[in-house]
Every structure is written in structure tokens, then in C-alpha cells.
Amino acid sequence: MSTEIIHLAGRYNKYRRNLSQSPWIDKNDIRVMNSVQEMIEDGLKKYLSFDKSVFASSGREDVDVRMLGKGRPFAFKLHNPRNLEQYNEQTLKLIEKFVNEKHAGSVSVRDLQIVDKKDVTKNLSDEQSAKKKMYRALCCCSRKLTDDDINRINSLSEICLNQQTPIRVLHRRSLATRKRTIHDLKIEPVKLGDFESVKLEYMDNMFAVSMLTEAGTYIKEFVHGDFGRTEPSLSSLLQDCDTDLMELDVMEVHSDWPPSLQDNTNSHDTMSTGTSLAYQDDKSGCGDEALAELYSRGLKTMQEALEMSRGDKKEDLLVTSRRSLEKADNLVDSLAMFSDNETIDDIPTANLKYLLIPAYLAKLSISGEIRSRRLEAFCRAETYIRQFLHRMSTYSFGGDQVREALKSIDKPDDESKPAPKSLEDQARIRREKIEKFNRTKELENKLAELERRLESTVDDEVVREYYIDLIHKWIIDIIDDLEGIIKPALMFERGAAAGTLMDRPEPVRRPGGSEASSSSNSLVGKNFVITKDMLTKQVFGAGYPSLATVSVDEFITKKINDGDLVYQKDKEIYSNSLQRYAEQPDLLREQEEHSDEEREAKEERDDQEELARKRRWDEFKDDTPRGSGNRHNMG
């Protein structure tokens, strides 16, 4: 048995917020959440034999901060390693692969290698103060930034800070004033999709901050000032503008150690690693190759996610896909790949597929909607659909269909059109639906045939024909999603934000004396869920996926007010009618109790009909195993 110690070093990326670097243990010695350290240890324990491991890293990010770029250097000290033949380059590659696949979307590892103890001490401890780190943050402020604000901040460099120990860490750090330097600073407006927390209604008060800082700088406190404990702060530099930080990412830890074992950057990141923040404006370093990689990875992940049923794995894949495609979309814009002055013939065949990125992002927004953030998800989807359809209109795709869809987005008040009344209109709509269905099937068949041809040829004309037909197919799908999901959902969600479905104005008086609600309050043509009582309605919430919910009593009252239901209290009505159950809420319970009593009485007097019914039921259970269901109509 060996007593030596082996040191392993590498770099890790953290892609998920609410993930700590090291294990969190509460006062009862209970682990609170998973951590980067434990995820990497999973791979070490699977392929290597040792007694104990000790983790160290080049600094640490907060639990809610992501670590992007080439990753953060780290090292493990492995005590009493055994089976030393396992400690080779091939095994370390297997560990990287295991961690990257098992914890995809959370953590990835690269450049795993065996190092000397002195290298660990030198690079993780002795030279910490000499390192620089690059950050990118989403911030919000109490007013809209002006061009003068942006130009003034962007002209600053080598900003010297006096930072007292932040309030949030005073319980574990000594009180002191630390001098730190912001080497480079840049702010810019944000676009939808740049950060997860960007909201349409607050975009005017949001901006992105990119900065190159001295290691050890408290970034959060630099942004908001920590009640004056950090001077100067971004809040004070902007003058009369309270500023706070919403999202923070570490983009780069500048260190040449451990040496890179691969020529290209990590597959999860395409950001430049230069020391100047000019990389945010000049993204030519990413190039077409990086764009193609982002597109391919995002599309592949999206296809995998859409084929899965709901679950945490699907949600992680949707988020990963959306981030890749958002980066690709931003890169397409920065490269000015498409222009309003072009025709479709001016676009190279290799670039046609990038026209579809906004459509993919819209589909991801719809598929990944979370109930608590449904309105934001659908607004984001509508924005991407508008971008996609505008681009299609520019290149003369889709004709009147695209123009009408764009008009319905830009003028949402026109979306509630009256239902056709004549048989001719109904027949016309039916013919249009049939034609659309046939056109869709024809496109699907043609695309399948072109895919088969592309397996055996790389002819440019075939590739171009394939992508043009694919664009036509996605135009149909996106407009269907707009009409069938986005518009109804936004109509309901925006209405729900103002009040419930049944919060109606006073009913108007019909000429005959009966009362009726205005036409804008009618339930005609709208889907809704009817619940038995108000309590069930409250539990049901907004229905699924976006249906209004009303109780029986509300529904009957609404029908009477509309004049669609004549209320005759003295007239005998059907015993199982909605109106009777609305008037007598306890009726159903009384009927069930009476039915149970009647059944018990029959059993006591050995009623022949009841005995025959029970025998038939027993025979049915014997012949039909539980869970078999109705299998008589199976082909």
C-alpha cells in the first residue's frame, strides 16, 4: 500500500446557478445541496482508487454565479492512491467524459492532468493577487440610461476602489478596507435573450456590464455600493441612479496554468479570452466556424429535448439549447449576415439555415414555459416569431400569409375577429385547412426525400432546395403556433393580470327586458373549464394549458345574464342539470348518500337484481385483469 500523494489539476465550468463550488453543510452536519467539487469527485471515485481527496481552486464564484470561458483552475490532492497504473492520460480522459456527460448542463471539466505539488502551491496561492478576471453582469437601475451615461462609463479605465468587507460576508471575514482595481469597464444596452432575467417590461432600465478586474474584487458591491462601503461604485459613477445586479457570470480567469491539453476552447463556450473588453464589439474572432458549432449544438439539443417527456432532464436540455441558439442569433446579428437590401438569391447556401434560428428560439420558448413565468415565455416567443416573420417577409417567403401574421402581431386588437356566419365562409375555411394540410404533407415528404439524397451527395443545389423547403415548412408551423398557442395564451394571461375571467362590467339591458352582457364579455368562442364549486375553481387555478376556469354557479349566472338560459324557478327541471346543482350545492352529496343507503338495503334483503349485478362484476374482473383496459378495438 502506497502512502504517497498525487496532485491532479484541471479547469471546470459551471453553467447552472444555485450550485455551490464546495459542499454546503448546515449546523446539523446535513448537506444542503450538490456542489461542483462533489460532481468532479464522482468521476475520480469511479475510475481511481484513493483514501481521501482535498479540493482547492483559483478563487471561487458565489453560489448564484456561473463560471464560463476556459474555466476556473482547480486541483485535487489524493491521499494514499492505489493501483497507480490507473493514473494515466487515458483514465483522466474517461473521467472528463464521465463528468461532462453525467452533469451536462451543470458542470464540465477539461485539461485534467497530473501535476507537481509546487505548481499547485504557486498557481493557486502565491500569485492570486496578480491574476485578472473578466466578468459580465446584468444590472438594473432606477432610470433609463442616456447615451451620455454610457459614453462616460465606457471612457473609464484603471478605476481604483476602496472596498470595506461586504456586509454579506462580515460573519466570516475580518473587517478591513481592501484596495482593488477595475482595469476596464464597459456598459451596453441588453437585448431579449442576452440574459435569462431580461424582461420586456423592464428592458429600458436594464443594461449589461463587462469588466476586467483585479482578483479579489467584490463585483456585487462594486455595482450597488454596499451602502457606501465600496467607493466609487457603479451606482455612484452613474450619478443619481440606484443600481443593482441581477445576474453575474465569470467569463475568464486569466491564468496559463494548468496548461491546455486541447487546441480549441471548451465546446460549451465561444467567447474570446483576450484581456480587452473589445471582444464584446468585435466578435469576428468567433467566425463562421464557431457560429456553425453553436447552431449545430443548439439544434441537436433542441431535437433531443422535444422528443422527451416532461422532466428535469428535458428542462436542462431546453435551457442549454436556448443558450446556444441565442449566442448564435447574436453572432448572426453582429456579423450582419442578412440585410433588407438582399434577395434570397444573394444568400450563400451555407447561411440559409441561420434564417431559422428565431423560429427555433420561439419553439423553445413555447416548449420550455414555466407556469409561474408563462407570460414572459410567451412574450419572448412572440418577439422571436415577429423577428422570424419579418425576415421571411424581407426575403419574400410566405406571401400574404406572412404579412397577415405580422399584422396580427403588431395590431393585437384586431385578433378577435367575429366567427363566420355563412355556410360559404365556413366551407372556404374548411377548404383552406385541407389545402394547408396537403401542402404540409407534401413538404414533409419532399424534405424526407431530400434528406435521403443528401446522405449520398453534397450537391449545392440539393442542399439549397432542402433549406428553402425547410423554411417554408417552419413558416407554416410557426404561424400555427402563433394562432393556436401564443395569441390565445397572451390574451388570457394579459386578461388574468387585470382580473379574473368573471370580472365583468354591469350587464346591458336587452330590448325585451332581459339583461345581457356586452359582446366583449361573452364566453362564445372561448375555451374554458367548468368546476363544481368555487373552492375547486381556486384549486384548479387557470386550468391547463391556458384555459379560463369558472364555477357552475358563475357559468349559470353568466348564461342567464346573456339571455341564453331562461330561469324558471317553479318549473320542474332535469334532476341532473347544471342549473339544479348550482341552486342546490349539497344535492350531489345527498344523492350519493341516498344511493349508498339504497344499495345497503338491497344487500340486507338479498335483492336478486343486486346479487346478479355483483356476480356479473366478479365475472368481469376474473376475465379482465387489472390494467388491461379496452383491447377489443386494437388492430
Strand 66-79 relative to strand 157-164: parallel, antiparallel, unpaired? unpaired
**CATH no. for residue 86?**
3.30.70.2510
Question: What's the Cα-to-Cα distance from 276 to each of 180, 244, 280, 547, rounded to whole Å?
Answer: 18, 24, 9, 51
Q: Which structural domain range is residue 157 located in?
A: 133-253
Assigned domain for 284 exists: no
| Spatial CA neighbour of 508 closest among 520, 526, 494 | 520
The Cα–Cα gap between 35 and 121 comes to 23
Domain end marker among 75, 109, 126: 126
**pLDDT reported for residue 609:** 83
| Rg, the chain, Cα only | 32
Residue 275 burial (10 A CB sphere; 0-12, 13-18, 19+): middle
Residue 231 burial (10 A CB sphere; 0-12, 13-18, 19+): middle
Same domain, 117 and 158: no
Same domain, 249 and 390: no
Instruction: Give the CA-trace dihedral at 237, 238, 239, 241, to 10 degrees.
Output: -130
Query: CB neighbours of 620 closer than 8 A, spacing ≥ 6?
Result: none
212 within 8 A of 275, measured Cβ to Cβ: yes
Same domain, 108 and 159: no
**pLDDT reported for residue 28:** 61
Assigned domain for 634 exists: no
Same domain, 139 and 70: no
Assigned domain for 342 exists: yes
**CATH no. for residue 397?**
1.25.40.540
**CATH no. for residue 186?**
3.30.70.3190
The Cα–Cα gap between 393 and 400 comes to 9
Give 3-state DSSP helix, strand, coil % of the chain, rounded to 5: 50, 15, 35
Same domain, 61 and 119: yes
The Cα–Cα gap between 282 and 193 comes to 19
Q: How many residues does the chain have?
A: 635
**pLDDT reported for residue 267:** 39
- DSSP-based three-state secondary structure for 363: helix
Name the catalytic one among 26, 42, 51, 62.
62
Domain count of the fold of the chain: 3
Q: Is the peptide bond before 545 cis (omega within 30 degrees of 0)?
A: yes
Same domain, 97 and 187: no
Assigned domain for 285 exists: no
For the chain, which ranges sit under pLDDT 70? 1-3, 26-33, 125-130, 262-289, 310-312, 368-375, 410-421, 457-458, 489-552, 563-585, 627-635
Assigned domain for 310 exists: no
Assigned domain for 9 exists: yes
**pLDDT reported for residue 572:** 52
Domain end marker among 498, 532, 553: 498
Instruction: Indicate the angle between helix axes 312-334 and 357-367, nearest 10 degrees.
Output: 150
Assigned domain for 79 exists: yes
The Cα–Cα gap between 343 and 339 comes to 9
224 within 8 A of 233, measured Cβ to Cβ: yes
The Cα–Cα gap between 600 and 614 comes to 13
254 within 8 A of 133, measured Cβ to Cβ: yes
**pLDDT reported for residue 250:** 95
Domain end marker among 498, 517, 537: 498
H/E element, 70:
strand 66-79
Within 13 Å of residue 210, how many CA atoms lie on the same side as its CB?
A: 19
Same domain, 349 and 486: yes
Assigned domain for 198 exists: yes
Same domain, 63 and 186: no
Same domain, 43 and 103: yes
Same domain, 151 and 236: yes
Same domain, 137 and 15: no
Q: Is 413 assigned a catalytic role?
A: no
**pLDDT reported for residue 531:** 62
Residue 514 burial (10 A CB sphere; 0-12, 13-18, 19+): middle
Same domain, 152 and 18: no
